[in-house]
Amino acid sequence: MNCLSRHCSRLVAVGSLMGTLFVSGAAAQAQTCPSFPITLSAQMLGSLPTNTVITDIVAGDNFSWLSWTGDQSDRTLVVSLTVPGDSTNYVNPDDSTDHELNVGDWVMAKAPVSNRSSMRAALNSLLGVDLIVPVFDDVRGSGSSAAYHVAGFAHVQLLDYSLPSQNRISILFLGAVDCSGGGGGDGGPNV
pLDDT, one tens digit per residue, over 163-184 is 877 788 999 999 999 987 644 4
Tell me the pTM.
0.77
Q: 94: burial class by Cβ within 10 Å (0-12, 13-18, 19+)?
A: exposed
Question: In terms of pLDDT, which residue wins out, 152 or 21?
Answer: 152
Q: How far is CA 42 from CA 48, 56, 134, 138, 188, in A?
A: 10, 15, 9, 9, 13
Among candidate residues 156, 166, 144, 185, the one with its CA nearest the CA of residue 40? 156
**Is 22 a residue whose pLDDT tops 60?**
no
Whether the CA torsion 156, 62, 107, 170 is positive or negative: it is positive
- With beta carbons less than 8 A apart as the criterion, state whether 163 and 57 touch: no
Please report, for the chain, the start and end positions of each structural domain, with discontinuous segments joined by +. Answer: 1-30, 33-177
pLDDT band at 115 (very low <50, low <70, confident <90, very high): low
| Lowest-confidence pick of 27-31, 59-63, 92-96, 136-140 | 27-31
Say how far residue 139 (Cα) sits from the centre of its chain.
17
The answer to which of 54-58, 130-134, 152-156, 184-188 has the lowest mean pLDDT is 184-188
Mean pLDDT, to the nearest integer, of 145-173?
Answer: 92
Nearest in space to 41 (alpha carbons), one of 110, 162, 176, 138: 138
- Taking all residues of the chain, what is their mean pLDDT, rounded to a whole number? 80
